[in-house]
Amino acid sequence: MGDIGFETKPPAKNKLFHGTFIHSKALTELEYLHNAAVAVDSLGTIVAVSPDTDLTKAQATLLPQLNWSFDDTEIVVAKPGQFFFPGFIDTHLHASQYPNVGLFGSSTLLDWLNTYTFPLEASLSSLPKAQKVYSRVIRKTLSHGTTTAAYYATIDVPATNLLADLCLSSGQRALIGRVCMDQLGPAYYLDESPAESLAKTKQCIEHVLSRDPQMELITPIITPRFAPACSAPLMKELGRLAKETDLPVQTHISENKNEIALVASLFPDAGSSYAEVYDTFGLLTPKTILAHAVHLTEKEADLVRERRSKVSHCPCSNSAITSGAARVRWLLDKGIEVGLGTDMSGGYSPSVLEAARHAVLVSRHICMDEGRSEERDKLSVEEVLYLATRGGAKVVGMEEKIGGLEVGMEWDVQLVGLHDVDEEDAEEEGNVDVFGWESWEEKIAKWVYNGDDRNTKKVWVRGRLVHERK
């Protein structure tokens, strides 16, 4: 792939952003900063946030304070109606499954894996094919405002390393996981032994660290696919590796009822629940991302909370492959950190915004199923945007760096534009029409329910422009 390690280097210019900035202050609260300025230094770090200041005033006061010259500072102004919003964090997706988005028929997890997923993943040992798929998935997710992605690749080492290189060269922040599986899969798509699985995992970790030693943009993540696909010795080795390296872990948990029964039959001696199986092998750490968590018992959720492991809520996937409805309010009430995952291609869409609105709708189905109609279990627009940004940042362990617009955080941001029906020369209409009477809260609700990549005009990661809608 050539030496592309330089891609971790930050942009050379200081930048001053001006306009409306919106981000989560708390789970239920968005903060709106209008006519504001945010200064981002050449390292991509936010160094000043000034509310209520027009651009000329910001230039006259902030630049001298920061010792920045007028000529060397790039100015980026949001047009009226546009707003800067933290980039989305997709806490669970399979880069390798992108070609299958929308293809699942009426399958459920275990037959879906065999019919659709394992054959596709295996085919990505062809590097030209992997290059095509991974380049596309990165472009696609960036265009939907995903600035950080927790990726599963495949079992193949060169293809996984290629995904890491492509994230670096495209500027997307990512966690890169080589999938570990030494059982359950077809013979043509399995690690040969626990030892081989461990060795290949270490090769991928070393590769990522050689490209980005400080893990500024890409981070290796230990990835046991899920308990049914990992032998006890393999999980034990991976738990040990997590402890030795203090690296994050990602896996699936309690997604589907047949899967849960399979775990109980495969691991009769490793605890009395799915969560306890992972715990037995040291895989429930504060840096573990558990995808789905649809059918957790009270006791399992307590254990997850006790271990401070995190949950990736994947509502599009849970509906598409008929897994169930994860009770997000219940998880949050327990004090478990939750983020959103697209879970492509169990999920049909690469968009975290789609996952956010689906999270809203699933929470309403939970209300209806429980025969309740009160607000309590319903997730609001503000709450799902929190999960998509701040919540996701906590899930990937980067809450000090990303997910909000504060001094000291990195500029991982999208510029969002909605269509003003009175604008004659609107460049691109998109799917969200604004009539002019809407409050900002209403504009945000319209975006969440009807927005898509047409509204994502520009995307930056660490201050570097990584996507621009033409």
CB of 181 to ligand GUN, least distance (A): 8
- The dihedral of CA 136, 140, 141, 142: what is its sign? positive
Residue number, 320 or 409, with CB nearest to ligand GUN: 320
Residue number, 117 or 197, with CB nearest to Zn ion: 117
300, interface contact from Zn ion, ligand GUN, none, CB < 5-8 Å by kind = none
Provide CB contacts within 8 A for 277, sequence distance 6+.
227, 235, 263, 267, 270, 271
Residue number, 320 or 396, with CB nearest to ligand GUN: 320
* 250/310 Cα distance (integer angstroms): 9
* 11/220 Cα distance (integer angstroms): 23
Q: Is 377 helix (H, G, I), strand (E, B) or coil?
A: helix
CB of 291 to Zn ion, least distance (A): 5
Instruction: State the DSSP string of 126-172.
Output: SHHHHHHHHHHHHHHHHHTTEEEEEEE--S-HHHHHHHHHHHHHHT-
225, interface contact from ligand GUN, Zn ion, none, CB < 5-8 Å by kind = ligand GUN
Instruction: State the DSSP string of 171-186.
Output: T-EEEEEPEE-SSSS-
* 365/152 Cα distance (integer angstroms): 29
208, interface contact from ligand GUN, Zn ion, none, CB < 5-8 Å by kind = none
Instruction: Tell me the window of 66-74, 143-151, 205-213, 335-343 that interacts with Zn ion (CB under 5 A).
Output: 335-343
In the window 124-143, what residues touch Zn ion (CB under 5 A)?
A: none
User: What amino acid occupies position 155?
Assistant: I
Residue number, 339 or 463, with CB nearest to ligand GUN: 339
Residue number, 41 or 343, with CB nearest to Zn ion: 343
* 201/187 Cα distance (integer angstroms): 19
443, interface contact from ligand GUN, Zn ion, none, CB < 5-8 Å by kind = none
Helix (H) / strand (E) containing 264: helix 257-266
* 223/178 Cα distance (integer angstroms): 6
CB of 190 to ligand GUN, least distance (A): 13
CB atoms within 10 A of CB 429: 13
Residue number, 172 or 345, with CB nearest to ligand GUN: 345
Is the preceding peptide bond at 345 cis, omega within 30 degrees of 0?
Answer: yes
Write out the residues near ligand GUN by the rule CB under 6 A: 94, 109, 113, 117, 225-226, 252, 255, 317, 343, 346
117, interface contact from Zn ion, ligand GUN, none, CB < 5-8 Å by kind = ligand GUN
CB of 343 to Zn ion, least distance (A): 4
Instruction: Tell me the window of 270-278, 337-345, 402-410, 424-432 that interacts with Zn ion (CB under 5 A).
Output: 337-345
CB of 109 to Zn ion, least distance (A): 10
In the window 395-424, what residues touch Zn ion (CB under 5 A)?
A: none
* 23/124 Cα distance (integer angstroms): 38
* 116/139 Cα distance (integer angstroms): 23
CB of 346 to Zn ion, least distance (A): 5
CB atoms within 10 A of CB 326: 27
200, interface contact from ligand GUN, Zn ion, none, CB < 5-8 Å by kind = none
116, interface contact from ligand GUN, Zn ion, none, CB < 5-8 Å by kind = none
* 249/330 Cα distance (integer angstroms): 23
CB atoms within 10 A of CB 177: 32
CB of 204 to ligand GUN, least distance (A): 18
DSSP state of 430: -
Q: Is 342 helix (H, G, I), strand (E, B) or coil?
A: coil
Instruction: Tell me the window of 343-351, 380-388, 398-406, 448-456 that interacts with Zn ion (CB under 5 A).
Output: 343-351
Residue number, 343 or 354, with CB nearest to Zn ion: 343
Provide the terminal-to-terminal Cα distance of the chain, rounded to the nearest Å: 28
CB of 30 to ligand GUN, least distance (A): 30
| Contact yes or no for 148/216 (Cβ under 8 A) | no
| Contact yes or no for 312/92 (Cβ under 8 A) | yes
Residue number, 252 or 443, with CB nearest to ligand GUN: 252
357, interface contact from Zn ion, ligand GUN, none, CB < 5-8 Å by kind = none
Count CA atoms closer than 13 A to 343's CA, side-chain side. 32
CB of 97 to Zn ion, least distance (A): 8
Residue number, 191 or 343, with CB nearest to Zn ion: 343
CB atoms within 10 A of CB 75: 13
171, interface contact from ligand GUN, Zn ion, none, CB < 5-8 Å by kind = none
Residue number, 226 or 447, with CB nearest to ligand GUN: 226
CB of 312 to Zn ion, least distance (A): 8
CB of 235 to ligand GUN, least distance (A): 14
Residue number, 153 or 387, with CB nearest to ligand GUN: 153
Among 156, 237, 259, 343, binds Zn ion (CB under 5 A): 343
**What token pair was written down for 330?**
């219940």
Tell me which residues touch Zn ion (CB under 5 A): 343
